[in-house]
């Protein structure tokens, strides 16, 4: 085998410029394949990681919706949360609500922000940067965009209210709150002004008494199975949908069909291109070396060894293209991710291109198998050469 390997290598490097060009071709194909594999499930993985990071494994949302997809709400959420909390398998339940809130500071124009409401003392979707989280009524946590816009830091005051009322020339239902901290909001869109109030403050500001929540986040006990908990809660209350994290990703899957289809099509095309490149090169290489192949067979090189030699060449080209393609693919993925993550309204922490170890191995495996299959036809031609006929034709 090592002889076939060594011969395959020496034969390939005989024409280094041509080899490099073909490896470049396979590299482009491999890079596209790697990118498509990263894209196919990238957003789901990224979203799943983000949801997992909150530490809450189950989401309860109004029937037929996904979190914050519509203004639909679970009413009397305190009561619903308390009922869920009674279950010994549930460690914590956090209701969250959100709506547009206007924020203003003296001398500055009011800006529309997305206002979250969470129970005091909880902050499952915040990454605190400065100060502390919400601990009592009348406090607000703001994101860095808002902090920079109004030059605020913990301890400063902020005016919040509902939409501006043209009749009175001021924000409706306005009140002053104190900044307790500055944080990154995990699900906030890049460049958007975002703030969090206590749920009670947000309800009061909105003038609602029905204690609405856009979703309930549930942390299950250490020994409990999130799927089992979600399944049972689903059966208990038919007015809500209950999802464990993988289930919510699956429910959102329709939105991502485009990326999966695109990945499938482009990934398949790139494999096809890699296949054609390797087959073309090796077939031509065998044709060029026809006399040499016949002579080797005459000298006692077996068919199997001949086949192995050409097959090794296919593998080597695809392996080299794969290694270079992974590197190129990662660079291209960063560039493409930069484009796609500029989608308006997309949480800043999401990525479309995520490299998963198993998927990377799958892509590498596909490329190697493609290289091997692509080498089979020329290898078979080399192995089944009619020695006498080729030597005869050469002389003629």
Partner 1 sequence: MKSVVAEARALHRTYMRGDTPVRAIRGIDITIQAADYVAILGPSGCGKSTLLNLLGGIDIPTAGSVRLLGHDTRELSDRRLTRLRLEKVGFVFQRFHLLPALSAAENVELPMAEAGLPRPRRRARAEDLLDYVGLSHRVDHRPGQLSGGEMQRVAIARALANKPALILADEPTGELDQDTGAEIGELFLRLNRDGTTLVIVTHDTSLARPATVVHRMRDGALQTEAKP
Partner 2 sequence: MAQPLPELLLENRTAVNLEISIGDTVWISGLDTQERPFVVVGTYRRPADPSTVTLRDYRATFHLSDLQELLGAGDRVDRFSVLLRPGASRDAVIAEIDRLAFGADALATEKVAAATSETFRVVSRFHRALAGITITGAAVFLLCLVVLKLEERRLEGASMRDVGISRRTLFLWMFSETLVMAGIGTAIGLVLGWVGSALINAYFRRLYDTSMAFARVTEELALLVAFIGLATGVVVGTLAGLGLVRSRSSRLRQL
Binding mask 27-46 for partner 2 (x = CB under 8 A): -xx-xx--------------
Nearer to partner 2, 22 or 116 (CB): 22
Cα–Cα distance measured from residue 171 to residue 18, given in angstroms and rounded to the nearest whole number: 71
Contact 194, 175 (CB under 8 A): no
Give the list of residues 6+ apart from residue 111 with CB closer than 8 angstroms, or none.
Answer: 102, 103, 104, 146, 149, 193
For partner 2, which is the closer residue by CB, 129 or 255? 255
CB atoms closer than 10 angstroms to residue 135: 11
From the list 115, 181, 212, 378, which residue makes contact with partner 2 (rule: CB under 8 A)? Answer: 212
In the complex with partner 2, the residue whose CB is nearer, 112 or 298, is 112
* Contact (Cβ atoms closer than 8 angstroms) between residue 67 and residue 347: no
Both tokens assigned to 345: 């309204």
Cα 148 to Cα 50: distance, rounded to the nearest angstrom:
25
Q: Is the dihedral of CA 117, 172, 209, 236 positive or negative?
A: negative
User: Is the CB of 108 or the CB of 388 nearer to partner 1?
Assistant: 388
> Which one among 75, 130, 368, 376 touches partner 2, defined by CB under 8 A?
75
- List the interface residues with partner 1, window 276-305 (CB under 8 A): 291-292, 295-303, 305
Dihedrals phi, psi of 239, to nearest 5 degrees: -90, 0
**Residue whose CB is less far from partner 2, 281 or 382:** 281
193 within 8 A of 150, measured Cβ to Cβ: no
Cα torsion angle, 324, 330, 335, 337, sign: positive
> Per-residue x/- mask for partner 1, residues 303 to 332, rule CB under 8 A?
x-x---------------------------
Q: Which residues bind partner 1 (CB under 8 A)?
A: 3, 7, 10-11, 13-14, 291-292, 295-303, 305, 387-389, 391-392, 394-396
**Contact residues: partner 2, CB under 8 A:** 15, 18, 21-22, 24-25, 28-29, 31-32, 64-65, 69-70, 73, 75, 102, 110, 163-166, 169-171, 207-210, 212, 254-255, 257-258, 261, 265-266, 270, 273, 276-277, 280-281, 284, 288, 332, 335-336, 339-340, 342-344
């Amino acid at each position: 085998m090592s002889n076939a390997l060594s011969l395959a290598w020496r034969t390939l490097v005989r024409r280094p410029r041509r080899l490099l060009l073909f490896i470049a071709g396979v590299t482009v194909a491999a890079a596209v394949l790697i990118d498509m594999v990263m894209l196919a499930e990238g957003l789901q993985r990224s979203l799943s990681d983000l949801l997992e990071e909150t530490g809450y494994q189950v989401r309860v949302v109004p029937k037929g919706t996904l979190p914050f997809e519509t203004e639909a709400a679970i009413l009397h959420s305190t009561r619903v949360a308390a009922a869920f909390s009674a279950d010994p398998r549930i460690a914590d339940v956090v209701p969250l609500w959100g709506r547009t809130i206007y924020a203003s500071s003296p001398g500055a124009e009011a800006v529309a922000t997305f206002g979250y409401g969470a129970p005091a003392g909880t902050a499952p979707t915040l990454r605190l940067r400065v100060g502390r989280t919400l601990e009592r009524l009348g406090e607000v946590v703001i994101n860095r965009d808002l902090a920079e816009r109004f030059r605020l830091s913990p301890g400063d005051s902020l005016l919040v209210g509902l939409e501006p009322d043209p009749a009175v020339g001021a924000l409706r239902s306005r009140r002053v709150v104190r900044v307790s901290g500055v944080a990154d909001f995990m699900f906030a869109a890049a460049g958007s002004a975002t703030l969090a109030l206590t749920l009670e403050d947000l309800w009061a500001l909105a003038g609602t008494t029905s204690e609405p929540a856009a979703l309930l986040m549930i942390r299950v006990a250490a020994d409990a199975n999130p799927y089992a908990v979600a399944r049972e809660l689903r059966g208990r209350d038919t007015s809500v949908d209950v999802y464990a994290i993988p289930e919510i990703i699956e429910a959102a899957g329709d939105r991502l069909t485009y990326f999966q289809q695109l990945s499938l099509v482009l990934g398949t095309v790139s494999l096809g291109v890699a296949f054609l490149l390797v087959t073309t090169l090796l077939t031509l290489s065998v044709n060029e070396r026809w006399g040499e192949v016949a002579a080797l067979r005459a000298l006692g090189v077996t068919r199997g060894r001949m086949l192995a030699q050409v097959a090794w060449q296919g593998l080597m080209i695809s392996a080299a293209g794969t290694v270079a393609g992974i590197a190129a693919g990662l660079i291209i993925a960063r560039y493409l991710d930069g484009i796609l993550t500029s989608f308006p309204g997309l949480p800043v922490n999401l990525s479309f291109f995520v490299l998963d170890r198993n998927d990377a191995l799958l892509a590498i495996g596909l490329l190697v198998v493609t290289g091997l299959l692509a080498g089979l036809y020329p290898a078979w031609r080399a192995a089944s050469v009619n020695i006498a006929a080729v030597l005869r034709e050469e002389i003629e």
